[in-house]
Structure 1
Amino acid sequence: MLEPTARQWISYNLGGTLPADLNPWVHHDLLGRGSAVRHVLRFTIPLVPLLLLFLLFPGPVWLPLLMMSLILLPVLYFALGLMNVYRGFRLRQHGMADDPAERKREGTEEKRREYEARFGRE
């Protein structure tokens, strides 16, 4: 599988698109094994310098650690909660339609129609 150059990889991680010949790599990056870990790392690694600044605050060590957690925990929560939305956006951005969130919505819509046909609409 063809991999992006360092410049392309940095651009990709900052939200850019890659050439069409790298679509298999993009698909693997977004949906392959370890994609959830890569997704979380993309959101947390840029925060590390900011979080380390909290260690400069005077006082006991637990105080900066708690301040770091006040930033890190919501970031992790939203990164994990919006992972499928982000993946779908990135796939559409690269011209691919294999969107797991879209497939899930289609199944839900079908189940809703079956329910309404069976029990009527309230």
Structure 2
Amino acid sequence: MAAGRPNFLQYLAYSYGLRRLPDSMQSWVARDLAGKGAVRRFMFLMAIPPLLVLAPFWLLPASLYVHIEMTVPIYIWALLISLALNKVWRRHRLAQHGLDPNVVDAIRREKDAKMHEEYVRRYGPRPEEAKRYSNSNPFF
């Protein structure tokens, strides 16, 4: 496989955290986990497993109302948990591939750069002790 994109089986194993991609694909991994649309891709991928787990409930003999009551709350909960943990998971995947986990915030920093420049212009640079709050990583 060329250094460009993983094949289908590699992508499937990589997407669900089963395998690491080769080091030759690190730039692709960085774009996938921290580039434009990373949250959307993550949410689409994480929407599939709960569907597979909840699908057998639709085979039980019951009304549509009962099927919805059984599955929709669990599915919504699973999606909300996925959304809440998406940045943590993407940081973990970047670290797993030997990349800097702070790359996850690169797009946010680019968007907020103008606001930070305006802040520095108006109020001066931030104090040195405020540096530790600039990282959104919950573990460091």
TM-score category of the 2 structures, normalised to the smaller one: 0.7 to 0.9
Can you give the 5+ residue segments of structure 1 that lack an aligned partner in the other structure?
114-122
| 1:10-53 deviations in Å (ceiling 9; x for gaps) | 22123111111111111111112221121112212122222221
* C-alpha RMSD of matched pairs (Å): 2.6
Q: Determine the structure 1 residue equivalent to 2:97.
A: 94
Q: Determine the structure 1 residue equivalent to 2:10.
A: 8
**TM-score (normalised: structure 2):** 0.67
Residue 55 of structure 1: how far off its partner (Å): 1.3
User: Number of aligned pairs?
Assistant: 109
Query: Is residue 2:77 matched to residue 1:74?
Result: yes
**TM-score (normalised: structure 1):** 0.75
- Distance change in 2, residues 1:2/1:112 (3 Å): closer
Distance, in Å, in 2 between the alignment partners of 1:47 and 1:72 is 6
Any conservation in 1 of the 2:57–2:71 contact (CA below 8 Å)?
A: yes
Can you give the 5+ residue segments of structure 2 that lack an aligned partner in the other structure?
110-125, 134-140
- Residue identity over aligned pairs, in percent, reads 31
Q: Determine the structure 1 residue equivalent to 2:62.
A: 59
Distance, in Å, in 2 between the alignment partners of 1:70 and 1:87 is 25
Q: Which runs of 4+ in 1 moved over 6 A?
A: none
| 1:50-100 deviations in Å (ceiling 9; x for gaps) | 222121222220211121112211111110101111111001111111423
